[in-house]
Amino acid sequence: MRSGYPQFHRTLEVSAISLFAAFISGIAWRLAQTLDDAASWLVLAVAVVFGYVAADFVSGFVHWLADRYGSETTPLIGNTFIRPFREHHLYPDAIAKHGFIETNGSNCIVCAPVMASAFFFMPMTPSLIATFALGATLAFGMAIFATNQFHKWAHMSQPPLAARLLRKYFLILTPEHHDLHHETPFDRNYCITSGWWNPILGRLRFFGRLEATLSFFRLLCTNQDIFDQTSAVRQNQNVIDDLP
């Protein structure tokens, strides 16, 4: 486990993964009960695409927040959520050495309560609306769960066959696409599920304009120190690489 990764947080991650699996299975069971004709399967296909695309956007939004705002001392989330994002820029390939729980647990801590709410409060009566709602929620939840796994694979020199096949059809984050996020000034390509949203948000300058709006209300980015350190580490490494 990485430095600063407390045992309590690991226990929380294991519990969250278990709860997530239980609730996502329950949602899948309820969804199956709505699939009784061709129309419902068509609606499900649309819902799955919608949920997956939504997950990619949410992954980018959360990634942007953790990269740009708050600090390691932020109450509740600083050490366990923000710190890994900031350290990832210093040591981007370290994620490739993380185990399954460390890689995916934090996403489940956030996602398990959402899946629980969906399981208990979404419509129960079989209908096309229920099919869409449950299908989109299932796809969204599974994609959010897998996002950091896709992210990890993007940093691995030898990812598994499944990752290579999914990359071939641009269904998940590719290393070439994600590498742009780790280039100075580290302010683009935040979406890390599939990365589909990144060209659109980049062209719209979405996050830059959002930061400008927040700065108007005195909410300023707090990541400059870590990115200065990242640039310094890169420069030192380049010097070492150039030595005879």
Domain locations in the chain as residue ranges = 7-242
Q: Pick the range with the lowest mean pLDDT from 47-51, 118-122, 172-176, 238-242.
A: 238-242
Q: pTM for the complete prediction?
A: 0.89
Amino acid making up residue 51: G
Q: What is the DSSP string of 4-73?
A: T--HHHHHHHHHHHHHHHHHHHHHHHHHHTT--SHHHHHHHHHHHHHHHHHHHHHHHHHHHHHHHS--TT
Rounded CA-CA distance 152/192 in Å is 10
pLDDT (average), residues 38-64: 98
Residues 179-224 pLDDT 10s: 999 998 889 999 999 999 999 999 999 999 999 999 988 887 876 6
Q: Does pLDDT of 225 surpass 80?
A: no
Residues 89-98 pLDDT 10s: 888 999 999 9
pLDDT of amino acid 239? 36
Q: Does pLDDT of 37 surpass 90?
A: yes
Q: Does pLDDT of 31 surpass 50?
A: yes
Rounded CA-CA distance 209/132 in Å is 33
pLDDT of amino acid 240? 37
pLDDT of amino acid 233? 52
